[in-house]
């Protein structure tokens, strides 16, 4: 079953699954529902809550039961407390991207098919899976070199590409329907949310992209002595297989093991936060899945990240906006933060900058002077989302991964140090970035980029002038000559909307006048 009909039935199946888990229209909110939603709730078969679980927990379990694409969607929704609420978003942060492993024999078949070789020509040992997620699983292995090297071999699940394509198509269909009938859905840009999901998972489904991401991050962070990335084995990596060095380290989730190995959890927490901010601000390229299972500390005390399937990129303008926002809150300069929002055109210009700054003050002031352990980044983000919604600020897809990762990284740091102060940890990185941006070298780079852009525009100017002159000559010497197909389409447009024709003619006449009397 394909097309809209197939998508409709799959959307219905998703709705039924969510209803059975009482996660679509939770019973806790029944008193607030209009009659039509209560009717739809009964039609879908929603039941009463019997196990005492929260709506967020039930939603997470429902998404896990629906499969890989929906697990990934849940992880994206964890970044959108404005859409699902702070409590549900916090619960979805812990959504487990774990599935039972598929058979090792299937993994061996995938590897041999990818490289056209017997497994023994690549690895002298290919062990059982040590971790399995929705897209792939990892095997412990050793290369067939002398001496052998211990490696981690990631293999995609068989058939996962087709499964993702089908599910993303269905989610896209559902988002389009929602935006067609709901102004709130349009404001929240649900289709953009699904496109973010589609783009990120498309990269995850090609392990060469993950290998390239690991290599790029290693190169960018090479001078940072507290952070490193596993080396990629390019000769044993392909679209469906990724081989990297094996990491011998202590997982960050094992705080007591860190202490036993001689590592100070408080220092590790600081390294985690500053490594993330350095990647995001200085490099504009960051690891966007920094949960404790992907982070280790090696024998030299360095933070080691694995699993580069989800990466984030920020252009310079967005990085400056992020630094201005963090720096403004650190300095309690709310006009500065408001100005950053207006300059980025995130807030419509008909609003008052001073009024928006006042709203930001209401968010920021309550966190100062309180113990660090009482300041929740998730709660602060929720308050910011509420404020920006009041000022008609649309959700920014390019910030979704950044918001998600910031919350996760803070959670990791707090797990290591309950008194962790995210603001003081951020200050040196933000200040260094801002100083670098104001340096003479940065100004020269910016000037060079501007000159290069002007040069590209000037190169196109002669062709534009030649074409404009030709149009003017045609108008003066006997009228504009159009291709027969163009004439037919203008005639058809004229029958339905004469305004379009007059606008076109007015534009062409304006060009002719400008050319003859101003530019000549």
**pLDDT of 241 strictly over 50:** yes
Distance, in Å, from the CA atom of 430 to the CA atom of 325, rounded to the nearest integer, reads 10
Structure tokens at 39: 């009717």
What pLDDT was estimated at residue 471?
Answer: 59
Judged by phi (left if over 0) then psi (alpha if -120 to 50, else beta), residue 369 lies in: left
Confidence of residue 372 (pLDDT cuts 50, 70, 90): low
Residue 214 pLDDT: 97
- 456 or 46: which carries more pLDDT confidence? 46
d(CA 220, CA 226): 13
Q: Write phi, then psi, for 452 (nearest 5 degrees).
A: -65, -40
Q: Is the pLDDT of residue 111 over 60?
A: yes
The beta-strand segments (E) located in 84-134 are 123-132
Average per-residue pLDDT for the chain: 80
Question: Could you tell me if 232 and 307 are in contact, meaning their C-beta atoms sit under 8 angstroms apart?
Answer: no
Percent of the chain with pLDDT over 90: 33
Q: Any idea which residues carry the catalytic annotation?
A: 289
What angle is formed at CA 71 by the lines to CA 66 and CA 76, rounded to 5 degrees?
A: 135
Kindly report which listed range (156-165, 384-393, 405-414, 444-453) carries the lowest average pLDDT score: 444-453
Q: What is the pLDDT of residues 75-103, one digit of tens each?
A: 777 766 666 776 777 777 766 667 789 99
For residues 100 and 117, what is the distance between their CA atoms, to the nearest angstrom? 27
| Predicted confidence (pLDDT) per residue in 119-175, tens digit | 999 999 999 999 988 889 999 999 999 999 999 999 999 999 888 888 888 888 888
CA-CA distances (angstroms) from residue 495 to 228, 359, 480, 488, 504?
66, 51, 20, 11, 15
pLDDT 10s digits, 175-233 = 888 888 777 677 777 888 788 778 777 878 999 999 999 999 999 999 999 999 999 99
CA neighbours closer than 13 Å in the CB half-sphere of residue 373: 5
Strand partners, 141: 126, 151
Instruction: Determine the 3-state secondary structure of 432 from DSSP.
Output: helix
Is residue 299 pLDDT above 80, yes or no?
yes
pLDDT at residue number 501: 42
Chain-centre distance of CA 324, in angstroms?
20
- Strands 150-156 and 241-245 come out as antiparallel
Strand partners, 244: 152, 232
Provide the pLDDT for residue 503: 44
Spatial separation of the C-alpha atoms in residues 503 and 487, rounded to whole Å: 15
Q: Where are the beta strands (DSSP E) in 436-476?
A: none
């Amino acid at each position: 079953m394909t097309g809209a009909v197939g998508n409709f039935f799959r959307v219905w199946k998703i709705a039924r699954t969510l209803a059975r888990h009482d996660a679509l229209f939770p019973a806790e909110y029944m008193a607030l529902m209009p009659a039509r939603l209560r009717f739809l709730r009964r039609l879908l078969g929603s039941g009463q809550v019997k196990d005492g679980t929260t709506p967020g927990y039930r939603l997470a379990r429902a998404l896990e039961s629906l499969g890989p694409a929906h697990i990934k969607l849940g992880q994206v929704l964890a970044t959108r407390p404005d859409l699902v609420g702070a409590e549900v978003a916090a619960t979805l942060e812990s959504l487990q991207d774990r599935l039972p492993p598929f058979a090792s024999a299937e993994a061996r078949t995938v590897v041999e098919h990818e490289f056209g070789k017997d497994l023994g020509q690549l690895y002298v040992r290919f062990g059982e899976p040590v971790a399995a997620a929705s897209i792939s699983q990892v095997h412990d292995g050793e290369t067939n070199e002398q001496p052998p090297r211990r490696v981690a071999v990631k293999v995609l699940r068989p058939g996962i590409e087709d499964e993702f394509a089908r599910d993303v198509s269905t989610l896209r269909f559902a988002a389009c329907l929602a935006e067609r009938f709901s102004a709130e859905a349009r404001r929240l840009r649900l289709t953009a949310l699904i496109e973010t999901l589609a783009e990120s998972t498309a990269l995850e489904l090609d392990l060469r992209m993950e290998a390239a991401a690991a290599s790029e991050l290693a190169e960018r962070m090479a001078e940072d002595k507290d952070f490193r990335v596993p080396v990629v084995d390019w000769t044993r990596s392909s679209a469906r297989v990724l081989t990297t060095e094996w990491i011998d380290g202590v997982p960050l989730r094992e705080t007591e093991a860190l202490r036993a190995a001689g590592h100070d959890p408080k220092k590790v927490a600081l390294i985690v936060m500053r490594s993330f901010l350095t990647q995001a601000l200085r490099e504009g390229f960051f690891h966007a899945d920094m949960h404790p299972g992907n982070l280790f500390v090696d024998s030299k005390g360095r933070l080691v990240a694995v699993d580069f399937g989800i990466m984030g990129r920020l252009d310079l303008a967005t990085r400056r906006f992020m630094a201005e926002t963090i720096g403004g809150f650190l300095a309690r300069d709310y006009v500065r933060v408001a100005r950053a929002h207006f300059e980025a055109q995130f807030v419509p210009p008909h609003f008052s900058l001073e009024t928006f700054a006042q709203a930001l003050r209401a968010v920021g002031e309550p966190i100062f002077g309180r113990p660090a352990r009482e300041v929740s980044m998730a709660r602060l983000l929720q308050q910011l989302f509420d404020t920006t919604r009041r000022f008609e600020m649309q959700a920014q897809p390019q910030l979704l991964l950044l918001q998600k990762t910031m919350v996760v990284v803070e959670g990791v740091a707090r797990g290591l140090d309950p008194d962790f102060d995210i603001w003081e940890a951020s200050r040196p990185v933000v200040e260094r970035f801002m100083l670098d941006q104001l340096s003479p070298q940065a100004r020269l780079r910016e000037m060079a980029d501007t000159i290069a852009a002007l040069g590209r525009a000037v190169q196109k100017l002669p062709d534009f002038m030649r074409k404009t002159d030709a149009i003017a000559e045609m108008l003066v010497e006997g009228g504009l000559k159009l291709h027969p197909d163009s004439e037919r389409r203008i005639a058809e447009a004229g029958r339905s909307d004469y305004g379009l024709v007059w606008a076109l003619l007015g534009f062409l006449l304006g060009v002719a006048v400008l050319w003859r009397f101003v530019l000549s």
